[in-house]
């Protein structure tokens, strides 16, 4: 599927295609993560914000579709983040190591983005550390 096709999908559609049941009904004392997932489940993936993409990656939610969109976002803004600079890049550290060998073009792209981030003199120590750790993880 093309990146444009992926952008129109929703987590609800992907869940259905994979036989994953919808989330339980909310309770009075619902935890923030299930509440977030319920709130974005029907949103087209192409409309998700940086924070939503970062959360999905950290939670390993539909990585086959979310990681390419995150990389596309990093193309225009390598230090994208809502909570802090480099948040989206840092979230990629959560991608399981076995993902990268199966997605060579994405792995090479991550290495390129990380290289450009590390060449910036204005990058904070935290972002630099996240970028270096990600570089080690993707190989």
Whose CA is closest to 100, among 133, 135, 132?
Answer: 135
Taking the C-alpha atoms of residue 44 and residue 28, their distance in angstroms, rounded to an integer, is 27
What is the number of alpha carbons within 13 Å of residue 119 lying toward its C-beta? 7
Report the percent of the chain where pLDDT is more than 70. 97
Higher pLDDT, 4 or 123: 123
Spatial neighbors of 103 by CB under 8 A, at least 6 apart, are: 67
* Mean pLDDT, residues 11-29 taken together: 85
pLDDT category at 118 given cuts 50, 70, 90 is very high
Report how far apart, in Å, the C-alpha atoms of 43 and of each of 2, 65, 68, 85, 134 are: 18, 14, 17, 24, 28
Question: b/e map of 8-37 (b: 16 or more CB within 10 Å)?
Answer: ebbbbbbbeeeeeeeeeeeeeeeeeeeebb
* Mean pLDDT, residues 17-43 taken together: 86
* Mean pLDDT, residues 73-78 taken together: 92
Residue for token pair 């929703």: 10
pLDDT at 47: 96
Domain ranges of the chain: 3-138
* Mean pLDDT, residues 70-86 taken together: 93
pTM of the entire structure?
Answer: 0.90
């Amino acid at each position: 599927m093309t990146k444009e096709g992926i952008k129109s999908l929703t987590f609800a559609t992907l869940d259905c295609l994979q036989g994953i049941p919808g989330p339980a009904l909310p309770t009075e004392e619902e935890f923030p993560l299930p509440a977030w997932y319920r709130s974005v489940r029907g949103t087209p993936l192409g409309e998700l914000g940086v924070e939503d993409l970062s959360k999905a990656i950290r939670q390993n939610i539909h990585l086959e579709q979310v990681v390419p969109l995150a990389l596309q976002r990093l193309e225009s803004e390598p230090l994208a983040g809502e909570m802090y600079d480099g948040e989206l890049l840092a979230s990629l550290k959560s991608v399981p190591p076995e993902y990268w060998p199966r997605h060579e073009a994405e792995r090479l792209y991550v290495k390129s983005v990380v290289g450009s981030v590390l060449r910036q003199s204005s990058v904070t120590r935290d972002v630099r550390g996240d970028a270096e750790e990600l570089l080690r993880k993707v190989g």
